């Protein structure tokens, strides 16, 4: 890995938000792959439980809906059904279990990964690919490792604020996100050039993957509904 850039060469341009997102998503994809590999077996089991809970909810909802034909029960009537309330509770529990497991692996791993790289090089591999650095907000010079660790921990607040903490990075003059301000740091770049084409392609790929994931989810949900309808009419 290249040697750290000397403190006297710290760039002065605030890093644009898109550059920061591209860098973060590169790092996050690496850590996410490791996190998913670590929890793959228990996660698969929990996805199976989630699928079963979804089928149970659809079965519980279709029975009163078919019984009410040619009309339809109101949402209040559906929620008054004990079987539906139990199925909703089980589905919510299964969904939370599926979501929390990879997050429980990702969050500490990413904190260690980002804190270590920023402590040693003032940048993660993703930031280095975009020529970004994390520096002191007030002066040129080395930053203590604990401040990098604090910045990563405070990043949770930026996420929990529905990303308003991240959007603070567009505000002049220093363009600091919430977690940057808490740690007294800022993200800078050595150039004011536009996002590289490869990074633009990376962002478009992310958008395409999100659309594909939504399409797959809709198709899978429709298949579960069709299966439940067949069971109800069978």
pLDDT in tens, 71-90: 777 777 777 788 889 999 99
Q: Report domain extents, the chain.
A: 7-233
Q: Where on the phi/psi map is residue 4: left (φ > 0), alpha (ψ -120 to 50), or beta?
A: beta
* pTM beyond 0.75: yes
The per-residue pLDDT for range 182-219, each reduced to its tens digit, is 999 999 998 888 999 999 999 999 999 999 999 999 99
């Amino acid at each position: 890995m290249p040697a750290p850039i000397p403190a006297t060469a710290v760039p002065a341009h605030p890093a644009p938000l898109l550059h920061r997102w591209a860098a973060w998503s590169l790092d996050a994809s690496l850590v996410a792959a490791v996190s998913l590999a670590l929890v793959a077996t228990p996660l698969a089991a929990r996805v199976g439980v989630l699928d079963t809970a979804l089928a149970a909810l659809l079965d519980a909802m279709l029975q009163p809906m078919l019984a009410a034909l040619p009309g339809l029960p109101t949402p209040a009537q559906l929620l008054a059904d004990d079987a539906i309330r139990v199925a909703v509770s089980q589905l919510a529990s299964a969904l939370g279990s599926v979501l929390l497991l990879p997050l429980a692996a990702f969050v500490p791993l990413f904190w260690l990964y980002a804190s270590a790289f920023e402590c040693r090089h003032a940048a993660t591999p993703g930031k280095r690919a975009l020529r970004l650095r994390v520096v002191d907000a007030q002066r040129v010079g080395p930053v203590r490792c604990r401040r990098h660790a604090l910045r990563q921990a405070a990043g949770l607040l930026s996420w929990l604020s529905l990303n308003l903490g991240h959007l603070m990075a567009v505000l002049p003059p220093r363009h600091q996100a919430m977690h940057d301000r808490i740690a007294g740091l800022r993200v800078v770049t050595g150039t004011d050039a536009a996002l590289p084409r490869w990074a633009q392609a990376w962002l478009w790929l992310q958008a395409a993957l999100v659309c594909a994931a939504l399409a797959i989810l809709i198709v899978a949900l429709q298949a579960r509904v069709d299966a439940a309808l067949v069971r109800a009419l069978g």
